[in-house]
A and B are shown apart, each in its own frame.
Chain A
């Protein structure tokens, strides 16, 4: 199982673009990269998933370089409601795989 490393915390201001990078040097060929968002006392919420290059949806973009050893979650024009913990997970639907959440990145959006 690929281990991930993310910054523990980040601060930003409303309206700014926020980029959170996750390192996963041991990513396997079949692994996907998935990001989740969690608010206090709630379950994590799926944000975006990708395998390579760039993926964009209505809330975020995910940039994955060719070597796939890292990925960057990009949140455009953050608002106060984006204050949350963001988790990067690497894995796929393989039998016998644990889903290990790291400590995540605590994003604080300031007014």
Chain B
């Protein structure tokens, strides 16, 4: 079974631009979560989608948004990029939906650099 894939793997953007990152979960997984990881703040939860609905959201400004499609693939968008948005963005998929196990499977991440 293929793992979680994220595209692109690396991205360089300029302040003020916007960016869209993509995540394809493991086949059969309906929950997709997004995380931001920086050396200073560690792993921070952005939001989680389940069956095309945002189920939960972390403490990030409205510039960070996401969506999930009917095939469970997810995208996240960051508008008006700031230097502090430079980070590794990780996507994780899980079965979700009330299964006893909430083990998440992470993708390799997208390394975003804002200049």
Contacts and interface: CB of A to CB of B under 8 A. Distances in A.
Contact of B105 (A41, A42, A46): A46
Contact of B43 (A46, A87, A93, A95): A87
A46 B103 contact: yes
Q: Is the interface of A mostly helix, strand, loop or mixed?
A: loop
B56 interface: yes
A29 interface: no
Nearest to A45: B106
A13 to B, nearest CB: 27
A23 B82 CA distance: 36
Nearest to A97: B56
Interface residues of B, number: 30
Contacts of A92: 100, 102
A34 interface: yes
Nearest to A103: B42
Interface string B21-49: 00000000000010100000011110010
A45 B106 CA distance: 7
A109 to B, nearest CB: 22
Interface string A34-47: 10100001111110
B98 A93 contact: yes
B51 to A, nearest CB: 12
Please give me the 7 A-B residue pairs with the lowest Cβ-Cβ distance, nearest first: A43-B106, A101-B43, A46-B103, A93-B102, A43-B90, A99-B45, A98-B45
